[in-house]
């Protein structure tokens, strides 16, 4: 089988609400959730779909950079290749756009990786979880993201999440330690017997992170995502030693070589895996294997993924049996999509592993056309 054609289709999905990170809102209501869809057609006519949905305040990629990188650099070197040789596809992409400390525009590469996985699984008539060779679970639990920056907004957000049936809450912090601890206290007050953890998205200095960690630990919070800048390995070790919390690395753990180095330096004990930040399923599954074999705690997350990225993540996290609630908050924030039929869910709280061949997202091309944007 050969890849005959790759089409690149940027779309904008409307948002219900914004997410506020330590650097500001990840995308405005006006911007919406922009996604670069990739339609990969095999020489036998079978089609696979992938997508790139970058978050420009989370990492350096944008809708525009994903679009031009896929269209002008990555897709041209994949046409004519065998989609079953996924390692070969990645080698070809890495030759065009070189990896650095991260895998080199991983969100753009993930779109093609997902499309190739979707294509080969559809060809074989199996779902992605079967391709991964592990039936760890048939569903995953989702968490509700709390990103209001004041106590009142935080309370409202948690009440909404509880009303929708969620039992796990991830709180965006990384602003001012004292206020962040107060907001988290409010979350715990309202979300009794729920799983609650915090994510600073690199927002604190080491000194502020240590102060905040003392406050969070006193509240009984166990998990603290990416407290300090991703390049501060010294600080990560210091935080591991000085706080009793589990420090999870997210932005610092984009690619395998850097994670191997962090393990050698004894600077990591928990990893946040995202399908898109690693360059797709091919590397995300290796990151999961590495974490499992190194005895690291595994956390599943995303970048407010649209349905294709969301479903691919559900397959991966279910395959690895990640038992911590996953921060896949697309359904919480995205108001409309390009699907012909909704993905399988159990209420809002659980995402079921799609059983149809491939990733399981059935794309409605008329909807894609109506959501199209010009870049």
Q: How far is the CB of 21 from Mg ion (least distance, A)?
A: 9
Tell me which residue has its CB nearest to Mg ion.
250
User: For residues 53 and 360, which CB has a smaller minimum distance to Mg ion in the complex?
Assistant: 53
User: For residues 230 and 371, which CB has a smaller minimum distance to Mg ion in the complex?
Assistant: 230
Residue from 280, 279, 275, 286 nearest 330 by CA: 275
Angle formed by the axes of helices 281-293 and 86-96, nearest 10°: 110
The tally of CA atoms less than 13 A away on the side-chain side of residue 221 is: 33
Q: How far is the CB of 160 from Mg ion (least distance, A)?
A: 21
143 with 80: CB under 8 angstroms? no
Task: Specify the DSSP class assigned to residue 40.
Answer: E
1 with 44: CB under 8 angstroms? yes
Q: How far is the CB of 75 from Mg ion (least distance, A)?
A: 29
Q: How far is the CB of 274 from Mg ion (least distance, A)?
A: 8
Residue with tokens 């309370």: 155
| Cα–Cα dist 203/230, whole Å | 10
User: For residues 224 and 282, which CB has a smaller minimum distance to Mg ion in the complex?
Assistant: 224
Find all residues with CB under 8 Å of 235, minimum gap 6, and list them: 206, 209, 228, 229
User: For residues 118 and 225, which CB has a smaller minimum distance to Mg ion in the complex?
Assistant: 225
Task: List residues binding Mg ion (CB under 5 A).
Answer: 199, 225, 250
Q: How far is the CB of 329 from Mg ion (least distance, A)?
A: 11
Element (H or E) spanning 260, and its range?
A: helix 256-264
User: For residues 199 and 305, which CB has a smaller minimum distance to Mg ion in the complex?
Assistant: 199
3-state SS class at 269: coil
User: For residues 180 and 225, which CB has a smaller minimum distance to Mg ion in the complex?
Assistant: 225
5 with 41: CB under 8 angstroms? yes
Q: How far is the CB of 248 from Mg ion (least distance, A)?
A: 8
Residue with tokens 């809102």: 25
């Amino acid at each position: 089988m050969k890849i005959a054609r790759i089409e690149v289709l940027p779309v904008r999905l409307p948002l219900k609400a914004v997410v506020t990170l330590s650097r500001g809102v990840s995308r405005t209501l006006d911007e919406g959730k922009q996604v670069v869809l990739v339609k990969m057609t095999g020489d036998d006519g079978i089609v696979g779909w992938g997508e790139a949905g970058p978050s420009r305040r989370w990492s350096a990629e944008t809708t525009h950079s994903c679009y031009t990188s896929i269209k002008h650099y990555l897709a041209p070197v994949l046409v004519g290749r065998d989609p079953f040789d996924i390692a070969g596809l990645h080698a070809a992409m890495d030759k065009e756009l070189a990896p650095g400390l991260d895998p080199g525009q991983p969100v753009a590469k993930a779109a093609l990786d997902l499309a190739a996985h979707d294509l080969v699984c559809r060809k074989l008539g199996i779902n992605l979880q079967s391709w991964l060779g592990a039936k760890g679970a048939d569903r995953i639990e989702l968490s509700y993201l709390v990103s209001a920056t004041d106590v009142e907004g935080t309370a409202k957000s948690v009440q909404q999440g509880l009303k929708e049936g969620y039992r796990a809450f991830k709180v965006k912090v990384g602003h001012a330690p004292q206020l962040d601890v107060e907001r988290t206290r409010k979350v715990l007050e309202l979300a009794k017997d729920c799983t609650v953890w915090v994510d600073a998205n690199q927002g604190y200095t080491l000194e502020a992170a240590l102060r905040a960690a003392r406050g969070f630990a006193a509240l009984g919070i166990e998990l603290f995502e990416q407290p300090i800048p991703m390049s501060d390995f010294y600080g990560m070790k210091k935080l591991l030693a000085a706080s009793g919390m589990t420090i999870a690395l997210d932005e610092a753990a984009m690619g395998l070589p850097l994670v191997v180095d962090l393990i050698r330096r004894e600077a990591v004990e928990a990893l946040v895996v995202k399908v898109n930040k690693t360059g797709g399923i091919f590397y995300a599954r290796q990151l999961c294997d590495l974490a499992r074999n190194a005895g690291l705690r595994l956390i599943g997350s995303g970048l407010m993924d649209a349905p294709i990225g969301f479903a691919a993540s559900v397959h991966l996290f279910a395959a690895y049996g990640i038992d911590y609630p996953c921060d896949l908050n697309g359904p919480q924030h995205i108001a409309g999509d390009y699907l012909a039929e909704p993905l399988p869910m159990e209420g809002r709280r659980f995402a079921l592993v799609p059983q149809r061949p491939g990733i399981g997202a059935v794309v409605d091309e008329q909807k894609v056309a109506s959501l199209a944007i010009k870049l």
